Chains A and B, each alone.
Chain A
Amino acid sequence: MNAIVVSDLTRRFGQFVAVDHLTFDVRQGEIFGFLGANGAGKSTTIRMLCGLLKPTSGTASVGGVDVSRDPEGVKRRIGYMSQRFSLYERLTVDQNIRFFGGIYGLDQAHLNRRRRFVLEMAGLEGRERTRASELAGGWRQRLALGCAILHEPPIVFLDEPTGGVDPLSRRRFWDLIDQLSASGVTVLVTTHYLDEAEHCHRIAIIHAGRLAALGSTDELKHMLADRSIVEIHASNPVEAMRLLDRMPEVEKTSVFGTTVHAVLRADRAIPTDALKSRLVDGGVPVAGIGPVQPSLEDVFLEVAERA
């Protein structure tokens, strides 16, 4: 069953097409990743799916409710958390929970039950009276998530939910997402951390408002299966990249820290040894070289460049 059905969804701002005929489905209980550069149209899409922004054309239904026709109905079925962890900083943990419970119309008994759940989930038991402004990033993030799902929505939108949070908290946050998904909640999450995308069941790569690729991480990596990628450890990666770019066998290169990935052309294979000797001849000492599996980043760069 599909929790979200998007068909030809388009949004223009004047001449600018922010979202261009997007079509995809999200299955119930799925963690669906939305990947794209800043300004690719991720947030605009989310805002349309949440009923905040009217689509220019196309349709979208969220939890079976049409977003154009009944945005309020959509709002009752979703939870939303943004990268800003929008809490009221001057209010305490407890007061924030009670406020969001209030505007979602939860009755007292329901609110008390959910309040305990959120405090436990966020690890904030005993800190109910702490002000939100005094919480460290990870706790604020989990509290914001808790406030967003107080009303037990079947669908949750997370807009870059892990910005500015330490790796341990990020890990913990993704564990929570996995638990939500396991309990049947559909999660649509935007991110530009590619390692986070690995947590998603499926990923949509958005580029310039269009759907550039869609599939599981394995499926996406498979897109590059016809080309081999060579990873080169070089003390001078920039110089190595310059040399590689001039070779006819190399389609493109990208730097990952001290290593360079070279995507080789499918029709002009070259043994890695030959590649290495050419680099050494060119004056770039090579510490290591070998074929690697394409990473999601390779896919992302490939897709972004092609589109």
Chain B
Amino acid sequence: MRKAFAVARKEFRQIARDRRTLMILLFVPAFYLMLYGYALNWDIRHVRLGVEDQDHTPESRSVVSAFVNSGYFDLVASVDDTRITELMNTNEVRAVLVMPSGFGRSLRTGARAPMQVLVNGDNANTATTVMGYALTILQSESAHYRSGQSTPLLSVQPRVWYNAELRSTLFLVPGLIAYISMITAVISTALSIVREKERGTMEQVRMAPLGAPAFVVGKTIPYFLISLASAVGIILVAMMLFGVPMRGSWWLLLAALSLFLVGALGLGLLISSVSDNQQVAFQLAMLASFLPTFMLSGFIFPISSMPAFLRAVTYLVPARYFLVALRAIVLKGAGAAAFWEDLAALAIFAALVLALASVRLRREWA
């Protein structure tokens, strides 16, 4: 154990000497989070809205202002019938409200007041979202009028849990935390052993009576502490910049994060032990961390809608388990009982890759 500690201290000193790598490990992840967090955003804002108001009553104007005040729509044009097609075609507007004459009167008398919302459907995703916004706004608008009625009409009141505004950042940012931590942890360790092979120091170390497990443990400790600091950093950034809440226990979060990171570091060491040079190690590390974590973890694409065989593959992706735990802790404030299986899976993954890395190194060792 003292020997493992000697390896860890050496590794720390090496990293500390290499300011650039240290900066990359500590701060680039937070920078990435900002970059991705702002760019990868499915919330649609500033939808250019056209209004065709044939009614010109306080009621019709109230609908328009409800749209504008929602923050999702920018009123860019008041149009008449003939210009709608042209404006939609040229993308000047992406949604149009049409209120026929008599609209206000119908509302005042409590009769059905038909109106039309046109949405540009060239991007189905966006269109669905915009439609969702529009319907929500209209629903709350019509609630004003119903409230005055003696017989309240039955109305659907959808309520969304955990993300009441259905903000996609709340869904995406935990995924980004997992994704960025995974990549930095895997890549930094993947390069660490192979660098020693390239420099020849590996051979020198192998000549010492130092077992492969002690070497692996010594290599893991510093990268673990650094990647933990970096991951906590991006979680804090996520909370400050993207309003990600913290509804659960920090200790639980640290536990889940630690298990996840140890697995990621083990994977990196395993890659390092099978690679002969830094290029190969880097490519393997990208392949093993980047794609699976992005595609197969439930970060963006729901696992439940994948074909069976891909679903089977996701069981090998540690981020899958970590995401369940992370979202449960941060968004739901759930206790460990809700996701203990995922924590167990993370622990198993970590133990497995570390053991494999040790075995693999030991075979090379002697």
Contacts and interface: CB of A to CB of B under 8 A. Distances in A.
Interface of A: 50-52, 54, 71-72, 75-76, 78-82, 84, 86-91, 95, 98-105, 131, 147-148
A113 B207 CA distance: 22
Contact of A103 (B13, B203, B208, B365): B208
B140 interface: no
17 contacts: A52-B206, A52-B207, A54-B366, A78-B207, A81-B204, A86-B200, A86-B203, A91-B17, A98-B6, A102-B3, A103-B3, A103-B205, A104-B209, A104-B210, A105-B2, A148-B204, A148-B207
A102 B6 contact: yes
B200 A52 contact: no
Contacts of B208: 75, 100, 103-104
Contacts of A148: 204, 207
Nearest to A80: B207
Nearest to B6: A102
Contacts of A88: 10, 14, 201
Contacts of B9: 99, 102
B14 A80 contact: no
B179 to A, nearest CB: 30
A95 B2 contact: no
Contact of B207 (A50, A91, A98, A105): A50
B294 interface: no
Interface residues of B, number: 25
B3 A90 contact: no
B1 to A, nearest CB: 10
A71 B366 CA distance: 7
A152 to B, nearest CB: 14
B3 A84 contact: no
A71 B362 CA distance: 12
Given A54-B366, A71-B366, A103-B7, 8 more contacts: A72-B209, A72-B211, A87-B201, A89-B199, A102-B6, A103-B205, A105-B3, A105-B209
Given A75-B209, A105-B209, A91 B14 contact: yes
B5 A102 contact: yes
Contacts of A90: 13-14, 17-18
The 10 closest A-B pairs by CB, nearest first: A102-B6, A84-B200, A86-B204, A80-B207, A90-B17, A86-B200, A99-B10, A75-B209, A103-B208, A86-B201
A79 B205 CA distance: 11
Contacts of B209: 72, 75-76, 104-105
A80 B204 contact: yes
Contacts of B5: 102
A87 B209 CA distance: 17
A88 B10 CA distance: 9
Q: Is the interface of A mostly helix, strand, loop or mixed?
A: mixed
B10 A82 contact: no
Contacts of A80: 204, 207
A52 B366 CA distance: 4
A147 B6 CA distance: 14
A95 B203 contact: no
A16 B365 CA distance: 22
Given A104-B209, A105-B3, A95 B10 contact: yes
Nearest to B214: A103
A151 to B, nearest CB: 8
Interface string B208-221: 11110000000000
A100 B9 CA distance: 11
B221 to A, nearest CB: 13
B207 A75 contact: yes
B203 A91 contact: no
Contacts of B14: 88, 90-91
Nearest to B16: A90
A104 B5 CA distance: 12
Contact of A51 (B7, B17, B366): B366
Nearest to A53: B366
A213 B10 CA distance: 44
A52 B361 CA distance: 12
A79 B199 CA distance: 19
Nearest to A131: B17
A103 B210 contact: yes
